[in-house]
Amino acid sequence: MLLWLEWWSQVRNLRGAFSRNRTFLWFALCVAGITVRKDLAGVTSIIRSLGLRESFYDPLLDCFHSEAINVNRLTVLWTDLVCRCCARFLLVVNGRLVILGDGLKIGKEGKKMPSVKKLHQESASNTKPTYIFGHSCQVIAIVAKAAETFFAIPLVCRIHEGVIFSNRDKRTLLDKMTELLSSLLIRVPSYFVADAYYCSKGIIRDLLKSGLYHLVTRARSNAVAYYPAALSTTKGPGRKRKYGKKVKLKTLFADTEKFAKAQSPVYGERDTILKYRSVDLLWRPVGISVRFVLVIHPQRGRLILMSTDLSLAPLDIIRLYGIRFKIEVSFKQAIHTLGSYAYHFWMAGMTRLSRKSGNQHLHRKDDKYRDQVRRKIRAYHAHIMAGIIAQGMLQYLSLFKTDLVWKSFGSWIRTIRPGVLPSEQVVAVAMRNVMPAFLAVSEDEQILAKFIRERIDITRSEGVALAA
């Protein structure tokens, strides 16, 4: 019960994103259902996990589609809540927070679902098909650390492809990522860590323009840079040369004598010695000096990392990029444990998609049709935010209530060891075990418990009347 009371003490801080208290309670009910459900069959699983009657299915759907939910405001409040409550656990490197960003493609077969399009998947895994139909999302998370455990606490996710409302909108996915990062209103200096897709002049310029962010990423193997031009002693017309000798970065691996050896700073790696070389060069797309770190890893091979912060130590750059993988672990938990993306909201009046569908251009549709599409996408984002909040609260309880989680887990597990915090799955099982005690508290102690209990009592009373 104490886990749920702590859970509610934090979730209630999100009330400001809802114009109606009843809508907020329905939304909190959905977050609770996502937290404890055993299967991922959309809204139906929320009904089963909380023991609600089938007639509550439509009110739950109405909750996600409700205009009383301000999704953007909810995102800001959730980000602020995470930064305040988990402040002492947030990872700080060189005086800056660590924020992760990445893209995510969710398979969706619905032919009447806005934003569904044919997507190409670049992966070395042969278990993933080359092309899928689904939603293309971008996600931002913040890194927390306790003992030997890292968490990528999700902050926001948005669907950024599939629908074009105006043919004048020329924004790329990189532009939308920087806008999404700015919308979180994080006013603390941070490192934005992302993969090679985000190694672009557009995103670097936008991050540096804000004055708060630096980019840590992986450069492509064919990247080139320039040494600064030698100072000229002669005077002549025109501006002085800025770029000197051009260098292909991968050729720097040949001079092994300039590489230093060090213990690997990547989390989870022990007794691993890697070689690295740091060099500050001019990168022409942005016209400034950036720090390149060439890494020779005994198992992972060669890698070229890049940072726009010249004061960041080379080993810290390697360490930060190693932590980037935690957002992939967060995706796995969101998809397979919580079902944050297990929504099935179809739009009845939508034009049926073909099997060769790309972006859905809506600038020739009427205003009513466009508003219906916006309403449906807002419902997708509301469901995703419910999953993000549920996952973030599981991570919060793992950080702050570790002993209580293991005590409430009620079973043996071999991964209980010093320095390793319980995963989201373990915390979800613990909360599922103490759910009956939470519902049994007095009305004065718990608003949400009363709200859930009233609906369960309605279900039971109808069952008794039906049996009679």
pLDDT computed for residue 308 by the predictor? 95
46: its two tokens: 């929320």
Question: 310 is written with which tokens?
Answer: 């010249």
Q: What mean pLDDT, rounded, does the chain reach? A: 89
Q: How far is CA 336 from CA 385, 412, 422, in A?
A: 16, 22, 16
3-class secondary structure, 388 = helix
Q: Where are the beta strands (DSSP E) in 84-148?
A: 92-93, 96-107, 117-120, 131-146
Residue 198 backbone zone (phi > 0: left; psi -120 to 50: alpha; other: beta): alpha
10-56 pLDDT tens trace? 999 999 999 999 999 999 999 999 999 999 988 999 999 888 888 88
Q: Does the structure show a pLDDT above 90 at 467? A: no
At residue 101, the pLDDT reads 96
The H or E element spanning position 222 is none
Q: pLDDT tens digits for 140-198?
A: 999 999 988 899 999 999 999 989 888 888 889 999 999 999 999 999 999 999 999 99
**C-alpha–C-alpha distance, residues 157 and 21, integer Å:** 24
User: Is the C-alpha dihedral spanning 63, 118, 39, 15 positive or negative?
Assistant: negative
Residue 120 has pLDDT above 60, yes or no: yes
Residue 466: the pLDDT is 38
Residue 289 falls in which region: left (phi positive, over 0), alpha (psi -120 to 50) or beta: beta
Task: Read off the pLDDT band of 217 (50, 70, 90).
Answer: very high
* pLDDT one-digit tens code per residue, 364-415: 888 899 999 999 999 999 999 999 999 999 999 999 999 999 989 888 887 7
Q: Is 225 helix (H, G, I), strand (E, B) or coil?
A: strand
What is the pTM (predicted TM-score) of this model? 0.91
